[in-house]
Amino acid sequence: MAYERTLQAMTWADAGHMAPELILIAMMAVLIMLDLLLPRRVDRSLIGWLSLASLLGSFVSVVWRIQHQADQSLASEALGLLNDNYRIDDFGAMFKLLLLTAAALIVLWSLGAMKQGSSGQLVHQGEYYYLMLPATAGAMLMTSTGDLITLYTGLELLSISTYVLVGLRARRALTAQAASSEEKVSAKPAEAAFKYVVTGGISSAFILFGMSYLYGLTGSTHVGEIGSSLPQAVESFRGLIYLAFFFMAAGFGIKIAAAPFHAWAPDVYEGAPTPVSAFLAVVSKTAAAVALFRLFYNVVFPESLSNGSTIGHDLFRAVLAVAACAMIVGTLSALRQHNMKRLLALSGVANAGYLIAPIGLSFYGVHSNNAAELFFYAAAYLCMNIGAFAVLSIVAGSRRDADGSVQLRSFEGLYHRAPWTAGAMIIFVLSLAGLPISGGFFGKLFVMMGAASSHAYWLVAIMAGTSVISYYVYFGIVRQMFMRSSGDEPVHVPAASGIVVWLCAAATLVLGVYPNGLLHWFEHVFSVVGDLLILR
- Element (DSSP H or E) covering residue 80: strand 79-81
Q: How far apart are CA 436 and CA 442, in angstroms?
A: 8
Task: Give per-residue burial for 505-527: e unless 16+ CB within 10 Å, then b.
Answer: bebbbebbeebeebbeebeebbb
pLDDT of residue 118: 38
Contact 126, 31 (CB under 8 A): yes
Q: How far apart are CA 86 and CA 140, in angstroms?
A: 11
Contact 106, 133 (CB under 8 A): no
Residue 139 maps to a domain: yes
pLDDT of residue 174: 43
Contacts of 25 (CB under 8 A, 6+ apart): 133, 134, 137
Of 125, 150, 128, 130, the C-alpha closest to 140 is 150
Span between the terminal Cα atoms of the chain, in Å: 12
> C-alpha distances in angstroms, 527 versus 77, 78, 195, 370?
9, 10, 40, 12
Residue 178 maps to a domain: no
pLDDT of residue 383: 95
Q: How far apart are CA 468 and CA 400, in angstroms?
A: 30
Contact 278, 128 (CB under 8 A): no
> C-alpha distances in angstroms, 405 versus 264, 277, 338, 415, 462?
17, 13, 10, 21, 32
Residue 302, phi then psi, degrees to nearest 5: -60, -35
Q: pLDDT tens digits for 450-474? A: 998 888 899 999 999 999 999 999 9
Q: How would you write the pLDDT of the chain (536 residues) with one tens digit per residue?
A: 444 455 566 676 677 788 999 999 999 999 999 999 988 887 788 999 999 999 999 999 999 988 877 666 555 567 777 777 888 888 999 999 999 999 999 999 999 887 664 345 676 788 999 999 999 999 999 999 889 999 999 999 999 999 999 988 765 544 444 444 444 455 677 888 899 999 999 999 999 999 999 999 988 999 989 988 888 887 788 889 999 999 999 999 999 999 899 999 999 999 898 999 999 999 999 999 999 999 998 888 877 766 556 888 889 999 999 999 999 999 999 998 999 999 999 999 999 999 999 998 876 555 567 889 999 999 999 999 999 999 999 988 776 655 667 888 888 888 888 889 999 999 999 999 999 889 999 999 999 999 988 888 999 999 999 999 999 999 999 998 887 666 667 788 888 999 999 999 999 999 999 999 998 899 888 887 778 877 66
Residue 230 maps to a domain: yes
Query: Number of structural domains, the chain?
Result: 1
Q: pLDDT tens digits for 271-329? A: 898 999 999 999 999 999 999 999 998 888 877 766 556 888 889 999 999 999 999 99
Residue 8 maps to a domain: no
Of 203, 324, 178, 336, the C-alpha closest to 263 is 203
DSSP conformation class of 407 = B
Residue 9 maps to a domain: no
Residue 12 maps to a domain: no
Contact 341, 192 (CB under 8 A): no
pLDDT of residue 178: 46
Residue 41 maps to a domain: yes
Q: How far apart are CA 514 and CA 437, in angstroms?
A: 9
Q: What range defines the domain where residue 101 resides?
A: 18-171+186-532
Residue 95 maps to a domain: yes
CA 97 to chain centre: 12
Q: Please give the radius of gyration of the chain, using alpha carbons only, rounded to the nearest integer.
A: 23
pTM across the whole model: 0.92
Contacts of 393 (CB under 8 A, 6+ apart): 109, 113, 116, 120, 274, 275, 497
Packing angle of the helix pair 370-396, 495-513 (nearest 10 deg): 150
